[in-house]
Structure 1
Amino acid sequence: MKAIIIAAGHGSRLLPLTLTTPKCLVAVGGRAILDHQLDAVAAAGFESAVIVGGYRIEQVAAHLAARDGFPTELVFNPFWSIANSIGSVWAARAALAEPFALMNGDTLFETAILRLAIDSPEDGMKLVVERLSQPGLDDMLVETDGTRVVTVGKHIPGHVPTDRSLGLIVSTGGTAYADALRDVIGEEGGAQSYHHAVVRRVAQTAGVTAVRIAPGTRWQEIDRPEDIDLWQRDHHGASGGDTE
């Protein structure tokens, strides 16, 4: 299985850290977010990773060139400054033909979460979620019915959110995701969609399975400087890739 890491954005909420540095290279616990992610996907058993870059991509290229071992491919999203995250998925669409796990380039996972995502026995598309207690400001909300994803979005009027998405999407094969991506991005305003709009479309057609993490399993979206402090406090400076 291949990991696809969306890391094209500027990360304006992390300013001034991202003034001259792409968000994926911001240090957390002394190491770049991207290094945490690549070490975690390697430890989870992935074969390789595609990284979608945009803002200051030359820095990402130099960083990857300096790494040893785990195979990576860097893809450029030329629409990073004018499209939403769906544009980065479109840039990596060639990688969607085989089994993949798609993740945001600003989220740190314990390795156990990635293993859960790829080892869960369900076929087709899967979305990794966490049971919702109190919605957060930036949560991507999910309504589930048992293990079936009903809908997903920042706002889901007429639905009752039960979970939050970790932004981790797995496909064990088939064309459902790629077909939905083409349909969504081709609609009016489709380039401004979050890539979860593709998940919502598949949930309405082929179906998406919710894979729920155990309570207390650690993950952290790095959106603001205080998020860096939260991860470092909880892990005492340990890397996300090495955390079990």
Structure 2
Amino acid sequence: MKAIILAAGHGSRLLPLTLTTPKCLVEVGGRAILDHQLDAVAAAGFEGAVIVGGYRIDQIEAHLRACDYGLPTDLVFNPFWSTANSIGSVWAARAYLEAPFALMNGDTVFDPAILRTAMAGGTEEVALLVEPLVDAGLDDMLVETVGDRVIAVGKHLVGHAATDRSLGLIVSQGGTAYAEALRAVIGEENGIHAYHHAVVARVAQGPGVTAVRIASGAHWQEIDRPEDIALWEGDHGR
């Protein structure tokens, strides 16, 4: 299984840190977000990683060349990073989507245990890692589940009752379900402005998506604003 890391965006909410630096290279606890991710990917036993870059991709390329994570890495360019939403980065990585993969946002750090859970996958071809919803934040991607089956995914679940929130970690054990749903969603009117979770929602309406819940106490943190850096460093004694 390969990790696919979506790291093309500007990260405007982390300004001024991202004024001259791509978001994935912003330091958290003295190391780039991407370093934390790739170390966790290697520790979890993935066979490689694909990083989708866009904004200041030359810096990402130089950073990858200078580091040894113990696993092969490929860098893919998303030329639509400034005009499309996150689905554009998934489209840029479409060549990798019929083999087993775990797709994650480039601004989220995970304990390796969470990534090992992701590798185990679920009973369906596609799985989404979730945790029980306590208090929904403004940026949370909400999920409705029944048992271990995903019913709906979105920022706003009109007509649905949110039970969980997504970690932004999507897993496929191989096959065409996810790639076919991607083509369908991005081909719709304004499809390039969709969040990539819209692909999961499409699969949930057809072949089905397994909700995989992380263990209680497993740690992850989305680094979206400067205060998120402080939260992570506080949790890790940095």
TM-score range, shorter chain: over 0.9
The answer to whether residue 211 in structure 2 is matched with residue 210 in structure 1 is: yes
The answer to whether the 8 Å contact 2:124/2:209 transfers is no
Question: What's 2:171 paired with?
Answer: 170
Whether 1:137 and 2:102 are equivalent positions in the alignment is no
Q: CA contact under 8 A between 2:9 and 2:54: conserved in structure 1?
A: yes
C-alpha displacement of 1:216: 2.2
Alignment of 1:146-165 (within 5 A): 146-165=147-166
Amino acid at match of 1:133: V
C-alpha distance in 1 between matches for 2:93 and 2:64: 17
Q: What do the CA deviations read for 1:80-113 (whole angstroms, capped 9, x no partner)?
A: 0000000000000001120000000000101110
In angstroms, what is the RMSD of aligned CA positions?
Answer: 0.8
Counterpart secondary structure, 1:128: strand
Residue 163 of structure 1 aligns with an amino acid whose one-letter code is D
Aligned to 2:182: 181
Instruction: Give the direction of change, closer, same or farther, for the CA distance of 1:72–1:226 in structure 2 (3 Å limit).
Output: same
Q: Which amino acid aligns with 2:206?
A: T
Matches of 1:120 and 1:192, distance apart in 2: 28
CA distance in 2, matches of 1:79, 1:39: 28
Residues 96-152 of structure 1 deviation map (CA, whole Å, 9 limit, x = unaligned): 120000000000101110001112453410000010011011000000000000010
Query: Structure 1: which amino acid aligns with 2:199?
Result: V
Partner AA of 1:91 in structure 2: A
| TM superposition score normalised by structure 1 | 0.96
> How many residues are matched?
237
Does the CA contact (< 8 Å) of 2:2 and 2:49 recur in 1?
Answer: yes
Counterpart residue identity of residue 104, structure 1: N
Give 1:19-30 correspondences, 5 Å limit: 19-30=19-30
- 3-state SS, counterpart of residue 133 of structure 1: coil
Runs of at least 5 residues in structure 1 that lack an aligned partner in the other structure:
238-244
Which position in structure 2 is the counterpart of 1:42?
42
Against the structure 1 CA distance between its residues 204 and 123, is the aligned structure 2 distance closer, same or farther, given a 3 Å change threshold?
closer
Partners of 1:175 and 1:195 lie apart in 2 by: 16
Between 90-99 and 119-128, report the one with greater CA deviation.
119-128
Match of 1:241 in 2: none
Q: 1:20 to 1:77 in 2, by over 3 A?
A: same
Runs of 4+ in structure 1 deviating by more than 3 angstroms, as ranges, are none
CA offsets, 1:139-183, max 9 Å, x none? 000000000000100001000000000000000011000000000
The answer to whether the 8 A contact 2:101-2:171 is kept is yes
Structure 2 unaligned spans of 5+? none
The equivalent residue for 2:18 is 18
Q: 2:4–2:52: 8 Å Cα contact kept in structure 1?
A: yes
Q: Identity over aligned residues, as a percent?
A: 76
What CA distance in whole angstroms lies between the structure 2 residues aligned with 1:215 and 1:138?
21
Residue 2 (structure 1) aligned with residue 34 (structure 2): no
Q: CA deviation at 1:236?
A: 1.2
Once residues 188 and 122 of structure 2 are traced to their aligned partners in structure 1, the CA distance between those partners, rounded to angstroms, is 33
